[in-house]
Amino acid sequence: MLKIRLVLRSLFYGAAAALVLIMTTLRVEASADTASEAVDRFSAAIIAAVKGDAAAPSPEGRYHQLSGLVSKGFNLPAMMEAATGARWRAADADDRTRLTDAFLRMSIGTYLTRFEDYTGEYFVVTGEQPSLDGTTRVATRLVRPKRPDMSVTYVTQKFDDDWRIVDLVFGGGISELTVRKSEFAGALTQGGMSGLIARLNQQADKMLAHLGIPDGRAVVPASLVTREPVSPR
């Protein structure tokens, strides 16, 4: 009996050690995801959504797909904080959610408008470069069969275990956040946070109505945009 117990104990500890090794390997593999891989998956999913497929052939269906992709691929609250500065920090949770929701709607409308007449465009990742500010810039090329290619750089940052996009740079030098910060300043001066939220929703309404989505608010789950930015690793 003693010999049997010793054998069983040996098998138990051997299995436990193997399980620990497997779990450790899985954690390493999960965290080994690079910024370039994350951007490659995101950009491919965006193209699949904007061109439509059997799962989402209608504008509303594409809107649903993009709402999830954009809210998970970007850190929208962090972007809104960077674009509005002290106004964001002084705002309550409700205004922050409303602003993030309005920017999400406008972002989806922008994607759908830019690719309204899809002609075979696709993204190619061409490299990545870590920056001193803790972000990683992933360079891509938007291949456009009927127009010249466009360079798009995704500025990414790791939050917990996920790479999230915090800015876009077009054509080698035009930062999305810089442009938005300039645009937002006037609206914030004139009408505060509520004025900016109203302006973004008006812009979104106009784009979505043109695309045949008269009530974009109704198809964006509010839970998608309530996550606060977390400290990067």
Query: Residue 61 pLDDT > 50, yes or no?
Result: yes
User: What's the CA gap between 54 and 108, in Å, rounded?
Assistant: 20
Alpha helices in the chain, H assignment, sequence order: 2-31, 35-51, 59-73, 76-84, 86-90, 93-114, 176-210
pTM flag (> 0.85): no
Whether the pLDDT of residue 23 is over 50: the answer is no
What residues does each domain of the chain span? 35-120+176-225
What integer pLDDT is reported at residue 15 of this predicted model?
39
Residue-wise pLDDT for 78-93, tens only, equals 999 999 999 999 999 9
- Asked if residues 141 and 147 have their Cβ atoms less than 8 Å apart, the reply is no
